[in-house]
Chains A and B, each alone.
Chain A
Amino acid sequence: MSVHQDLRVKRSFWLPAGLILIGLLLGYLAFTFLIGMPRVAVFRIGYVELSGESATDINKMLDYLREDNSIRAVVIQLNSPGGGVNASADVFMNTIKLREKKPVVFFVKGMAASGGYMWLMGGNWVVANQVSVIGNVGAYMSIPPNITRPDDTVMPTGPFKLSGDPSRTYITLLEEIKDIFVQTVYSQRGDRLKLRPEELQEGRIYFGFEAARLGLVDEVGIEPDAIEKAASLAGLRFYKTIDANAELKKGGYTFPYTEYKPYSSEPPKAEFPYIHYRFWEPR
């Protein structure tokens, strides 16, 4: 074989090989820049009582998690005793909206009681610390007094103009709100729940391991278990875990509920009719 023939043979091997390598490299770069490595966001909440104010902040976070397409799955580390019915229902519905786009796995580190437990119902899967406090399904309210006497100074146009309804109706409303809560739990937990409705509505709290046994949560575990489950539900083989709070902080927004502050002495911040999905921690 002549030198020219030898060079031609070598070129015919290295040139296509180089071109293939360039193609593969360009493809990977295109994947990285156009699609990107999937991310699992962990949204950590220190302790939050659900009120109109805190629900606004939480919903802001949930919107961000929903709209960022590089985030393929979400883990919400939760610690909440619940709060007002409106706020609890608000974050629950917003979490369902997020769940429709990407999987949401809750990790209960401290407490998911009452309205906090309702929030869990918005996720796909719940991992709980073995001694976390779970449950307390139900609501309470202060009953407004009946207005049974006329007043000389205030003239209403109808018998319930000043009170809205007789106080008995508020008790009925409270019962209906409890029914909605119980039905919501059944609709979202389905066959996983092993408690009868009359047991669920007793409003008991359960520690994580007991809650898992009764189907109030899916498993006892730690945060990495929740992340793994979220990735698996999203169908991810390889992924990057990010801290959602830190990510958003880079954009100038600081989620305010990252501190652990139990035993709030503040009065509950619920809007009218002042009905609370709230668990009061024993002191």
Chain B
Amino acid sequence: MNYAGRVSLVVVFALVSLLGSFFLFYGGKYQPPSLPLPGEDAVKPHEFPVQPFTDTPQKRTGTLVVDMTHFNNFSDQEFNVLLSRISSRGFIIHLLGNVNEFMDSAQKKPQRENDLEVALRSADSYVVAIPWYAFSIRERELVRNFVDRGGKLLLIADASRSSAMNTLASDFGLIFEVDYLYNVVEHETNFQNFFVRNFKPSRLTEGLKTVVFYQSSSLSPESQGLILTDENTFSSAREMRGPFTPMVLTGNGRVLAITDLTFMTPPYNSVMDNDRLISNIADFLTTSERTFGLAEFPYFFRQDVDVVAANERLMEGAQSLRGILSGFGKDAEVKDEESFLKETVFVGLWQDAARVEHYLSLAGIRAGARIQTPFTSDIPAAGTAMLYLHQSQGRNVLVILGDTKEMVERAVAMLGTGDFRNGLVNDRLGFYRLERAAPATPGRTSAPPAR
């Protein structure tokens, strides 16, 4: 073998070795996978389903009280839409308290309770939203009585904010669950914003096709739900399929509970039929079923009042009463004759009782030397004043009778101070034992009320 042959042999086997080594270690070639990334069309544009709505309010009269004494966790603007609808229906809106004021101390709680009692006397409807403080036993009693007397109550919570709502809601058989509802199959932008299309027939659900709730929790019991969720809506806490309800009507149709505030807040109020639902809620709150008794003086008067003095001597008392009514925002005129079409206060002595006998007899009250009623034992007329409220066919007549001019004036003064409530026998009748000799001291009863 010559030299060239020898070199060729080395080179050939070197190449064989190189290739052999390569194929020994590298068995194949890497092929990167073909996995294209999502294109620009992968993301669907999210439309904001705004729907035009025109509110057509009907004028009514009444007062709506909004609770702000429980450190309620909402801002003014969140209620603007609902309150403007209430206002456009002619209702007066009374914001009770200041949301930022600490009212839960032992010192402040009685004031809070008193403020509520006073506010509810004139109220046709009452709104409680996201209260942070618990409702006291006294407050719960006041609200229960308010609803029993036809007052409308709206309870609003929100899944994203803690509240002590159940301290009040449980009195009406309701529980605001600590959860949130969600739908991952169909939702408005976020899974917590779910559509509802299942409505039970009611004035509140009239005209609704689709409503969107935003971060809403569930209410129990579902059986009283006005709105029910679909089969794809779940509860975060209950780990079960619905239907759940975010809106319940209970308490003889007077207590409405909703678990979402956002749906009535701009811009979400404009989505789908949300605006229509807000208007329906405004109609519910301004359609008053409220009944007012003597204790609610003078709010049972819904129109201008005639103050009829039985004689000239009582004109001073009648004028004084006119001033009191005016202080409560009620227009009044002093007359000497009764108009049977108008709201009336009759101011007289026991001897004038015959002029109002047609009212007294309907309640079984007989005035003489002794006053006989079905509700009390006989009471001597001497030293006694009486308040009696007659209500018939939407007309209210308040009868004030007393032993003397001074006694009538003192009874009138008690109406101004509210002390008359201490002597109420029932919703319509009150008696006051007043010493003849004592000078008239407005605001003070000098003797315990007769019962």
Q: Please determine whether B38 and A180 come into contact, CB atoms closer than 8 angstroms.
A: yes
CB contacts (< 8 Å) of B184 on chain A: these are: 198-199, 201-202
Asked if B12 is at the interface (CB within 8 A of a chain A CB), the reply is: yes
CB contacts (< 8 Å) of B30 on chain A: these are: 72-73, 102-103, 233-235
CB contacts (< 8 Å) of B46 on chain A: these are: 172, 175-176
Q: Which of B30, B37, B267 has the most CB of A within 10 A?
A: B30
Chain B binder among A183-191, A206-214, A218-226: A183-191
Q: Please determine whether A237 and B26 come into contact, CB atoms closer than 8 angstroms.
A: yes
CB contacts (< 8 Å) of B38 on chain A: these are: 180, 183-184, 186-187
User: Contacts A27-B17, A184-B37: A175 and B12 contacting too (C-beta < 8 A)?
Assistant: no
Q: Please determine whether A23 and B17 come into contact, CB atoms closer than 8 angstroms.
A: yes
Asked if A60 is at the interface (CB within 8 A of a chain B CB), the reply is: no
Asked if B356 is at the interface (CB within 8 A of a chain A CB), the reply is: no
CB contacts (< 8 Å) of B24 on chain A: these are: 237-238
Asked if A162 is at the interface (CB within 8 A of a chain B CB), the reply is: no
Asked if A38 is at the interface (CB within 8 A of a chain B CB), the reply is: yes
Q: Could you tell me the distance between the alpha carbons of A166 and B30 in the complex, rounded to whole angstroms? A: 49
Chain A binder among B3-11, B92-100, B131-139, B243-251: B3-11
Q: Nearest A residue to B32 by beta-carbon distance?
A: A100
Asked if A249 is at the interface (CB within 8 A of a chain B CB), the reply is: no
Q: Could you tell me the distance between the alpha carbons of A40 and B44 in the complex, rounded to whole angstroms? A: 41
Q: Please determine whether B13 and A27 come into contact, CB atoms closer than 8 angstroms.
A: yes
Asked if A261 is at the interface (CB within 8 A of a chain B CB), the reply is: no
Contact of A31 among B18, B28, B37 (CB under 8 A): B18
Task: Please name 19 further chain A to chain B contacts, defined as beta carbons within 8 Å, in addition to the given A187-B38, A198-B185, A237-B27, sorted by A numbering.
Answer: A16-B1, A19-B6, A19-B9, A21-B13, A27-B13, A27-B16, A30-B14, A31-B18, A35-B18, A37-B25, A172-B48, A175-B189, A175-B190, A180-B38, A187-B35, A187-B36, A236-B27, A237-B25, A239-B25
Q: Could you tell me the distance between the alpha carbons of A201 and B32 in the complex, rounded to whole angstroms? A: 28
Q: Nearest B residue to A37 by beta-carbon distance?
A: B25
Q: Nearest A residue to B38 by beta-carbon distance?
A: A183
Asked if A22 is at the interface (CB within 8 A of a chain B CB), the reply is: yes
The A-contacting residues of B in range 32-83, CB under 8 angstroms, are 32-33, 35-38, 42-44, 46, 48, 77
Q: Please determine whether B42 and A179 come into contact, CB atoms closer than 8 angstroms.
A: yes
Q: Please determine whether B17 and A31 come into contact, CB atoms closer than 8 angstroms.
A: yes
How distant is A275 from chain B, measured CB to nearest CB, in Å? 13
Instruction: Please encode chain B, from 258 to 288, with 1 for each CB lying within 8 Å of some chain A CB and 0 for all others.
Output: 0000000001000000000000000000000
User: Contacts A23-B10, A24-B14: A171 and B32 contacting too (C-beta < 8 A)?
Assistant: no
Q: Please determine whether B32 and A101 come into contact, CB atoms closer than 8 angstroms.
A: yes
Asked if A124 is at the interface (CB within 8 A of a chain B CB), the reply is: yes
Instruction: Please encode chain B, from 303 to 326, with 1 for each CB lying within 8 Å of some chain A CB and 0 for all others.
Output: 000000000000000000000000
Asked if B21 is at the interface (CB within 8 A of a chain A CB), the reply is: yes
Asked if A25 is at the interface (CB within 8 A of a chain B CB), the reply is: yes
How distant is B20 from chain A, measured CB to nearest CB, in Å? 7
Number of A interface residues, CB 8 Å? 55
Q: Nearest A residue to B6 by beta-carbon distance?
A: A19
Q: Could you tell me the distance between the alpha carbons of A28 and B37 in the complex, rounded to whole angstroms? A: 42
Q: Please determine whether A180 and B1 come into contact, CB atoms closer than 8 angstroms.
A: no
Asked if A55 is at the interface (CB within 8 A of a chain B CB), the reply is: no
How distant is B166 from chain A, measured CB to nearest CB, in Å? 27
CB contacts (< 8 Å) of B185 on chain A: these are: 198
CB contacts (< 8 Å) of A72 on chain B: these are: 26, 30
Asked if A194 is at the interface (CB within 8 A of a chain B CB), the reply is: no
How distant is A141 from chain B, measured CB to nearest CB, in Å? 11
Q: Could you tell me the distance between the alpha carbons of A37 and B316 in the complex, rounded to whole angstroms? A: 118
Q: Which of A175, A199, A234, A237 has the most CB of B within 10 A?
A: A175
Asked if B15 is at the interface (CB within 8 A of a chain A CB), the reply is: yes
CB contacts (< 8 Å) of B19 on chain A: these are: 27
Q: Could you tell me the distance between the alpha carbons of A27 and B10 in the complex, rounded to whole angstroms? A: 9
Instruction: Please encode chain B, from 338 to 381, with 1 for each CB lying within 8 Å of some chain A CB and 0 for all others.
Output: 00000000000000000000000000000000000000000000
Q: Which of B28, B32, B185 has the most CB of A within 10 A?
A: B32
Q: Could you tell me the distance between the alpha carbons of A57 and B220 in the complex, rounded to whole angstroms? A: 53
Instruction: Please encode chain B, from 180 to 192, with 1 for each CB lying within 8 Å of some chain A CB and 0 for all others.
Output: 0000110001110
CB contacts (< 8 Å) of B37 on chain A: these are: 96, 184, 187
CB contacts (< 8 Å) of B36 on chain A: these are: 187
Q: Could you tell me the distance between the alpha carbons of A115 and B244 in the complex, rounded to whole angstroms? A: 33
Q: Could you tell me the distance between the alpha carbons of A23 and B15 in the complex, rounded to whole angstroms? A: 8
10 smallest A-B Cβ distances: which pairs? Answer: A27-B17, A23-B13, A235-B28, A183-B38, A31-B21, A27-B14, A27-B18, A24-B17, A26-B14, A23-B10
Q: Nearest B residue to A123 by beta-carbon distance?
A: B33
Q: Could you tell me the distance between the alpha carbons of A36 and B163 in the complex, rounded to whole angstroms? A: 70
CB contacts (< 8 Å) of B18 on chain A: these are: 27-28, 30-31, 35
Q: Please determine whether A27 and B20 come into contact, CB atoms closer than 8 angstroms.
A: yes
Q: Could you tell me the distance between the alpha carbons of A30 and B42 in the complex, rounded to whole angstroms? A: 51
Q: Could you tell me the distance between the alpha carbons of A121 and B20 in the complex, rounded to whole angstroms? A: 36
CB contacts (< 8 Å) of A19 on chain B: these are: 6, 9-10, 13
In the assembled complex, 14 residue pairs joining A and B whose CB atoms fall closer than 8 Å, in A order, are A16-B1, A20-B9, A23-B9, A30-B18, A31-B22, A72-B26, A103-B32, A168-B48, A168-B267, A175-B189, A180-B43, A183-B42, A187-B35, A187-B38
Asked if A174 is at the interface (CB within 8 A of a chain B CB), the reply is: yes
Q: Please determine whether B17 and A26 come into contact, CB atoms closer than 8 angstroms.
A: yes
CB contacts (< 8 Å) of A269 on chain B: these are: none
How distant is A5 from chain B, measured CB to nearest CB, in Å? 17
CB contacts (< 8 Å) of A30 on chain B: these are: 14, 17-18
Q: Please determine whether B27 and A23 come into contact, CB atoms closer than 8 angstroms.
A: no
CB contacts (< 8 Å) of A155 on chain B: these are: none
CB contacts (< 8 Å) of B11 on chain A: these are: 23
User: Contacts A31-B22, A175-B189, A190-B35: A235 and B9 contacting too (C-beta < 8 A)?
Assistant: no
CB contacts (< 8 Å) of A179 on chain B: these are: 42-44
Q: Please determine whether B32 and A99 come into contact, CB atoms closer than 8 angstroms.
A: yes
How distant is B180 from chain A, measured CB to nearest CB, in Å? 14
How distant is A36 from chain B, measured CB to nearest CB, in Å? 9
